[in-house]
Amino acid sequence: MDTLKIRIDNLTDSQAMDIVGTADRNLNVLGECLNCEISYRDQVFFLRSAQPQTEQKARAVLKALQKLSDQRRSVTEQDVIYACRLAERGEDIFFADFSSQVVGRTLSGKVITPKTRGQAAFVEAMEKYPVVFAIGPAGTGKTYLAVIRAVTAMKKGDVKRIVLTRPAVEAGENLGFLPGDLKEKVDPYLTPLYDALHVMLGSEQTEKLIEKGAIEIAPLAYMRGRTLDDAYVILDEAQNTTVPQMKMFMTRLGFRSKMIITGDITQIDLDRHTLSGLIHASDILRGIPEISMVELSSDDIVRHPLVQKIIERYEEYGERPERK
């Protein structure tokens, strides 16, 4: 196949650098998304081993990234991935409609904004509703955005504390066989929550707030018998709750509090005969005006482009495809 050449009108050197990315990272991601090799030289993008129909998609993505660079900030790998997905479906590529939504700022001052329309809908729901369900595959930023929003709310004084919890059920493991005390047993299950906190607060400040009780990280069983007022409460990995556990958790909601429930119904580690509390709750609570149900999809994945392809293949064939 011949090499395709694409020249973008009015492309400045600064915009080109943003699109190419450090060490060509953005171009490499673009090439993976378009299944071709892509390079840039002298105001021209070169696409090697590309199908003829790839040119139109690539041009649409490059123009959108040019506009994005001109509007706000450096182009990221996630921006490239998202633009490619929209181009693949022939949809218009927009960033400006959600890039102005600030979820929070990291310890270093970096502004965190939604990367996809699904993420933007999730952020908007967290601002408007006392209870929000976010259901979608791995890599869609459910846990990360929820924790970032919780820390931002506490910094603003909207809540007095943050409560982060998840069921201690992982791929058939039993906590009783793990070494150490309770904290040492459950900490490995709560790593994603710690990671997001460290981004916002740093490890030292996170530990100080945990010691003071302003941030509580605990297994779901510790929620029983409590009422959580003035709190931002996040239940992560909710697909691994049972129906009684989910009911117990939902009835902990107190005054001036928010509850965010996140989970992926394709990764349930419960016994196959046990109904997931997340599936049950999303069915029976749908339609209550104060509760928002946000459904994220593979379009909202902001990890490596291969992750989307893997998830889509599992969705297509199921977990146990027939052997040929």
The tally of domains found in the chain comes to 2
Instruction: Name the 3-class secondary structure at 133.
Output: strand
- Is 177 domain-assigned? yes
Residue 52 lies inside a defined structural domain of this protein: yes
Q: Kindly list the strands in the beta sheet with 4-6, ordered across the sheet, starting from the edge strand earlier in the chain.
A: 4-6, 44-48, 37-41
Whether the predicted pLDDT of 101 surpasses 70: yes
pLDDT in tens, 2-48: 788 899 988 999 999 999 999 999 999 999 888 888 999 988 999 98
Q: Two tokens at 177?
A: 């066989």
Residue 314 has what pLDDT? Answer: 79
193 and 110, same structural domain? yes
At residue 130, the pLDDT reads 97
Residue 235 domain-assigned (yes or no)? yes
pLDDT band at 171 (very low <50, low <70, confident <90, very high): very low
What average pLDDT does this structure show over 242-254? 94
pLDDT digits (tens, 9 = 90+) for 118-130: 999 999 999 999 9
Q: Are residues 71 and 154 in the same domain?
A: no
Is residue 179 in a domain?
Answer: yes
Q: Are residues 75 and 121 in the same domain?
A: no
Q: How confident is the model at residue 134 (pLDDT cuts 50, 70, 90)?
A: very high
Place of tokens 């740093």: 202
Given 77, 98, 119, the domain boundary residue is: 98
Alpha-carbon torsion (212, 168, 263, 94), positive or negative = positive
Q: What is the mean pLDDT of the chain?
A: 85
Residue 219, C-beta contacts closer than 8 angstroms, at least 6 positions apart: 165, 166, 167, 168, 186, 189
Least confident of 36-45, 174-183, 220-229, 303-312: 174-183
Is 322 contained in some domain?
no
Beta strands 111-112; 104-105: pairing state: antiparallel
Q: What is the Cα–Cα distance from 220 to 239, expressed in whole angstroms?
A: 13
**81, 226: one domain:** no
**Residue 324 falls inside a structural domain:** no
Give the domain range for residue 48.
4-98
What is the pLDDT, as a whole number, of residue 285?
96
A 10 A CB-CB count for 207 gives 15
Would you say residue 105 has pLDDT above 80?
yes
> Which of 79, 98, 117 delimits the end of a domain?
98
Q: Are residues 76 and 108 both part of a single domain?
A: no
One domain, residues 252 and 158: yes
So what's the pLDDT on residue 73?
A: 63
Tell me if 234 sits within 8 A of 218, measured CB to CB.
Answer: no
Domain match, 22 and 131 both: no
For the domain that residue 20 is a member of, what is the CATH number? 3.30.1370.10
- 232 and 191, same structural domain? yes
State which of 36, 69, 98 marks the end of a domain. 98
Most confident of 76-85, 151-160, 176-185: 151-160
Same domain, 11 and 76: yes
CA distance 4 to 46: 6
DSSP 140-155: S-HHHHHHHHHHHHHH
The CATH number of residue 229's host domain is 3.40.50.300
Same domain, 297 and 155: yes
Are 9 and 122 members of one domain?
Answer: no
Is 99's pLDDT higher than 90?
Answer: no
Q: Are residues 311 and 215 in the same domain?
A: yes
In a domain, 57, yes or no: yes
Helix (H, G, I), strand (E, B) or coil at 67: helix
Looking at residue 70, what is its pLDDT?
80
Q: 167 pLDDT exceeds 50?
A: yes
Whether residue 323 is contained in a domain is answered as: no
What is the share, in percent, of the chain residues with pLDDT greater than 90? 47
> What pLDDT was estimated at residue 227?
84
Q: Tens digit of pLDDT for each residue in 185-211? A: 556 667 778 888 998 999 999 999 999
